[in-house]
Chains A and B, each alone.
Chain A
Amino acid sequence: MSTAATHFRQTDPYKLGHGHGGGYSHRYATGHGEGGPASKRVVVGYGFWIFLLSDIIMFSAFFAAYAVLSREFAGGPTGRELFDLRGTALQTAVLLASSFTCGMATLAVEQRNQKWTQIALLITGLLGATFLLLEVREFTELVERGAGPTRSAFLSSFFALVGCHGIHVTVGLLWLGTMMAQFLAKGFRENIRHRYLCFSLFWHTLDIIWVALFSLVYLVGSLQ
Chain B
Amino acid sequence: MLGKLTWNAIPWDQPIPLISAAVVGLALIGVLAWVVIKGHLPYLWREWITSVDHKRIGVMYITLALLMLFRGFIDAVMMRSQQAVAFQAAGYLPPEHYNQIFSAHGTIMIFFAAMPLVIGLMNFVVPLQLGIRDVAFPTLNSVSFWLTATGAALVNISLVVGEFARTGWLAYPPLSELQYSPGVGVDYYLWALQISGIGTLITGVNFVTTILKTRARGMSYLRMPMFCWTSLASNLLIVAAFPVLTATLAMLLLDRYVGFHFFTNEAGGNMMMFVNLIWVWGHPEVYILVLPAFGVFSEVISTFSGKPLFGYRSMVAATLFICLVSFLVWLHHFFTMGAGANVNTAFGIATTVIAVGTGVKIYNWLFTMYGGRIRFATPMLWSVAFIVTFVIGGMTGVLLAVPPADFQLHNSLFLVAHFHNVIIGAVLFAAFAGLTYWFPKAFGFRLHEGWGKAAFWLSVAGFYVVFMPLYLAGLMGMTRRLQHYVVPEWRPLMLIAAAGIVIMCAALACQIIQIVVSIRRREELRDETGDPWDGRSLEWATPSPPPVFNFAVLPNVQDQDAYWGIKQRAAESQGTASEPPEYRPIELPRNSATGFVTAFFATVTGFALIWHIWWLAILGLVAAYAVFVKFAWRDAEHYEIPAEEVERIDRPYREKLEGALGIQNSLRSLL
Contacts and interface: CB of A to CB of B under 8 A. Distances in A.
Interface of A: 1, 3-4, 7-8, 11-14, 17-18, 20, 24-26, 29-38, 42-43, 46-47, 50-51, 53-55, 57-59, 61-62, 64-65, 68-69, 72-74, 76, 149-154, 156-157, 159-160, 164, 174, 178, 182, 185-186, 191, 195
Nearest to A3: B572
B267 A152 contact: yes
A203 B650 CA distance: 46
Interface of B: 132, 136-137, 201, 204-206, 208-209, 212-224, 239-240, 242-244, 246-248, 250-251, 254-255, 258-262, 264, 266-270, 273, 277, 280, 307-308, 311-313, 554, 556-560, 565, 568-569, 572-573, 625, 629, 632-633, 635, 637
Given A33-B216, A53-B239, A191-B637, A153 B629 contact: no
Nearest to A174: B625
Which residue, of A30, A68, A156, A159, has the highest number of chain B Cβ atoms within 10 A?
A: A156
A38 B277 contact: no
A36 B243 CA distance: 31
Nearest to A38: B213
Contacts of A152: 261, 267-268
Nearest to B214: A37
A25 to B, nearest CB: 7
A72 B565 contact: no
A74 B214 contact: no
A195 B189 CA distance: 34
A160 B251 contact: yes
Nearest to B140: A47
A73 B313 contact: no
Given A36-B215, A54-B239, A160-B250, 16 more contacts: A3-B572, A4-B569, A4-B572, A33-B218, A36-B554, A37-B132, A37-B214, A43-B213, A50-B204, A50-B239, A54-B205, A54-B240, A65-B277, A68-B273, A153-B270, A156-B254
A33 B277 contact: no
Contacts of B277: 61, 64-65
Contacts of A47: 136-137, 205-206, 208-209, 213
Contacts of B242: 54
A152 B260 CA distance: 8
Given A11-B568, A35-B217, A47-B136, A26 B247 contact: no
A146 to B, nearest CB: 13
A29 B223 contact: yes
25 contacts: A8-B565, A8-B572, A13-B308, A14-B308, A29-B223, A30-B222, A32-B213, A33-B215, A34-B217, A37-B213, A37-B215, A47-B137, A47-B209, A50-B204, A54-B240, A54-B243, A57-B240, A57-B243, A61-B247, A151-B267, A152-B261, A153-B269, A156-B254, A160-B250, A185-B633
B268 A72 contact: yes
Nearest to B311: A17
5 closest A-B pairs (Cβ-Cβ)?
A: A72-B268, A153-B268, A61-B247, A58-B243, A31-B221
Contact of B244 (A24, A31, A57): A57
Which residue, of B248, B264, B632, has the highest number of chain A Cβ atoms within 10 A?
A: B632
Contacts of B556: 26
Which residue, of B215, B277, B625, has the highest number of chain A Cβ atoms within 10 A?
A: B215
A50 B270 contact: no
A30 B559 CA distance: 12
Contacts of A18: 222, 313
Contacts of A159: 260
Contacts of B308: 13-14
A216 to B, nearest CB: 16
Nearest to B625: A174
A53 B244 CA distance: 12
Contacts of A68: 270, 273
Nearest to B222: A30
A12 B559 CA distance: 9
A159 to B, nearest CB: 7
Nearest to A13: B308
Contact of A153 (B132, B222, B262, B572): B262
Contacts of B244: 57-58, 61
A72 B220 contact: no
A181 B71 CA distance: 46
A178 B629 contact: yes
Contact of B220 (A3, A29, A74): A29
A43 to B, nearest CB: 5
A37 B637 CA distance: 18
Given A57-B240, A57-B244, A51 B222 contact: no
Contacts of A3: 572
A54 B247 CA distance: 11
B267 A72 contact: yes
Nearest to A150: B259
A186 B636 CA distance: 12
A52 to B, nearest CB: 10
B188 to A, nearest CB: 22
Contacts of B268: 69, 72-74, 152-154
Contacts of A32: 212-213, 215, 220-221
Contact of B262 (A29, A151, A157, A191): A157
